[in-house]
Amino acid sequence: MTRICVALDVPWERALKIVRDLYDFFENYPLIMKIGHKIYLEKGGDAVRELKEEFPYEVFLDLKLHDIPSVVGLAVEEISNLGADYTTIHLLGGEAMVEEAVNRKENTKILGVSLLTSHDESYLGFLKTTIGDIKEFVLHLVKIGLDKGIDGIVCSGEEVEFLKKNLDRDFIAVVPGIRIKKQKGDQRRVLTPAEAKKRGADIIVIGREITESKNPVYVVERALKMMGEI
């Protein structure tokens, strides 16, 4: 099963309405609700607690941590105490930072962010890395993360098939940049739900097409049908 994660990058009251509407129709489907910086800055950890108390869905607190190891470790510990099921760290933070996050995670799954889907090959030039191919660079980061014990990764749908074929271990592949109507917006590497599933995505992230829709239920239902999940 490829699961849908709803990116709730809207004001808190709007987010709650969306989750309630979806719950009325998808009570038994294991949706994941993602809280990013917008809601976290508005509600703090209470956003995670309230969603966990009211709904049966897993909560993904997506803060993309990147700091010195001790600071990230403390942050992960607090995120775990909140009850978040998933959180993210930047693999570019280095081995020591990743290791500290894993050591503090308790029951929270750590997802390593390789490269954001807003980046393309030109970003490697910015980093001045000797690895010139974006898939090989992502593979390098992911190998380090998995060696240090992360539970999964966040990567482009264009990379997930390559990674699944080139890594001889199980991991959760979370793919953002999903569009039912293939409009790129500010993300350069996008796929439809069906394409992402075919390439090996375990979780797909859909945001604005759901949160900006007058009928979020219809959008989620359409995505599930495209993947053959219902």
Query: Could you tell me which of 55, 2, 7, 1 has the C-alpha nearest to residue 177?
Result: 7
Residue 89 phi, psi dihedral angles, 5° rounding: -130, 155
52, 64, 143, 164: the catalytic one is 64
102: Cα within 13 Å, side-chain hemisphere = 19
132-140 long-range contacts, Cβ below 8 Å, gap at least 24? 134/159, 135/159, 135/162, 135/163, 138/114, 138/163, 139/163, 139/166, 139/167
Residue 110 phi, psi dihedral angles, 5° rounding: -95, 125
Other CB atoms within 10 Å distance of the CB of residue 161:
17
Residue 202 phi, psi dihedral angles, 5° rounding: -90, -35
Residue 143 phi, psi dihedral angles, 5° rounding: -60, -45
Asked about 64 being catalytic, the answer comes back as yes
121: Cα within 13 Å, side-chain hemisphere = 6
Active site residues: 64
